Structure 1
Amino acid sequence: MGQPAVRLVWLGRVRYTELLAVQDRWLRQLQAGPGTEALSGTEAGALLLCEPVGPMYTTGLRGGLTPKETARLRTLGAEVCATGRGGLATFHGPGQLLCHPVLDLRRLGLRLRTHVAALEACAVRLCEFLGLLDARARPPPYTGVWLEERKICAIGVRCGRHITSHGLALNCSTDLTWFEHIVPCGLVGTGVTSLSKELQRHITVDEVMPPFLVAFKEIYKCTLISEDSCS
């Protein structure tokens, strides 16, 4: 029996709400079971990727923003969206790679905890590909990927009936000043960084896509399939 297949869906530069709408469609298809028009019985789900357009603050199941804070952020020209993922408040915007794997973990032989660790490993591997050898995940209560005390990748997932949604946000050339208006992920005394800041050159989402997909296939032990035969 070969490797499980995951559908690669590159949305390009879209609003965060559009990513959520596509995620919801894939969730419904996976919950309906194999044999649907969009998902064959040999596929484990979809890997949704995009670069968000416009500033967006999101909150998780643990909240993270008061009504007063929400109003203040909107005066800055940002949108604010409550989501069903784990974690607290974070920022999404241009120059960031968003990765939302909508997966049936049973078909991949994974548990939720190993899925979260695999997402962290993908971001660590990508950093290593680019020469940032000190990137690492940290033990609880921390999540995501760090360079010392600087967080470069945030992770927040949701899982119901073995099916995952949401995922990671990797700062490539993100305007980090947007993070100064919140306490990212509720962590006091830590900083936020980006690939561009660490490598002292402009790193685009397009540049990191190929090595990220290599890392994802290796770590999840899957085949990526898409309409344009990207694998």
Structure 2
Amino acid sequence: MRQPAVRLVRLGRVPYAELLGLQDRWLRRLQAEPGTEASSGTEAGALLLCEPAGPVYTAGLRGGLTPEETARLRALGAEVRVTGRGGLATFHGPGQLLCHPVLDLRRLGLRLRMHVAALEACAVRLCELQGLQDARARSPPYTGVWLDDRKICAIGVRCGRHITSHGLALNCSTDLTWFEHIVPCGLVGTGVTSLSKELQRHVTVDEK
């Protein structure tokens, strides 16, 4: 039985809204043709890769930004969006690799926890390929990939009718000062980092 295909879509550097628009189109496409575990030879979705073209703060299903905070962040010149993913507030911007898998988990024979674990493993492997050997996934509520108490990759997903959206954000050469204006993912007492900061060299998204 042939494994359902997953399309790789490289968008380059694009506005965050463009990524969300393409994600929504793939969601509608998969929802229009519900899959089953017995499906074979069909498309199971897409991996959408991009680098955000500008600064964006996003809030998840649990909120994370008050109206006053939203106004303050917009005054910095950033876009602010409320999304349907899990988690609280985070930042996306240039120098960051975003991967949004829009997948029908039934067609791939996966459960949601397996999907999240695969995202964490992928981010850990990307760090290792750049020479960063200490990146690790942690237990909830510390979803994502960490170096001690410094998060290098945030993960937030949505799953409805077995179809996933949103995904991971790996800091390559992200300007980390943007994170100083929020409590990333609502985790007080933790920090953020990037491949460039840890490796003491400039790591671009294109190197991933």
Q: TM-score, length-normalised on structure 2?
A: 0.95
- Per the alignment, residue 133 of structure 2 pairs with 133
Deviations along 1:56-111, one digit per CA (max 9) or x if unpaired, are: 00000000000000000011000100000000000000000000000000111110
Q: After the TM superposition, which segments of 4 or more aligned residues of structure 1 sit over 4 Å from their partners? A: none
In structure 1, the partner of 2:90 is 90
| C-alpha contact 2:172 2:205 (8 A) present in aligned 1 | yes
Give 1:10's aligned residue: 10
Report if aligned partners of 1:84, 1:158 keep a CA contact under 8 Å in 2: yes
Contact 1:52 1:93 in 2 (8 A): yes
Amino acid at match of 1:182: I
Query: Could you report, residue by residue, the CA deviation over 1:21-55 in whole angstroms, capped at 9, with x for unpaired residues?
Result: 000000000011179xxxx9522100001000111
The C-alpha deviation readout for 1:145-166, integer Å capped at 9, x for no partner, is 0011100000000000100000
Contact 2:3–2:41 (8 Å) recurs in 1: no
Distance 1:201 1:2 in 2: 42
The SS at the match of 2:47 is strand
Shift of residue 3 of structure 1? 3.5
CA contact (8 A) 1:56 1:78 kept: yes
Letter in 2 for 1:63: G
Counterpart position of 2:102? 102
Distance in 2, matches of 1:2 and 1:21, equals: 30
| Contact in 2 for aligned 1:59/1:88 (Cα 8 Å) | yes
CA–CA distance in 1 between the matches of 2:34 and 2:57?
34
In the TM superposition, what is the alpha-carbon distance from 1:12 to its structure 2 partner? 1.0
Question: Cα deviations across residues 169-213 of structure 1 (Å, max 9, x unaligned)?
Answer: 0000000000000000000111100000011110000011xxxxx
TM-score by length of 1: 0.86
Distance 1:118 1:50 in 2: 19
The 1-side partners of 2:120 and 2:203 are apart by 20
The sequence identity of aligned pairs, in percent, is 88
Question: Residue 87 of structure 1 aligns to a residue in which SS?
Answer: coil
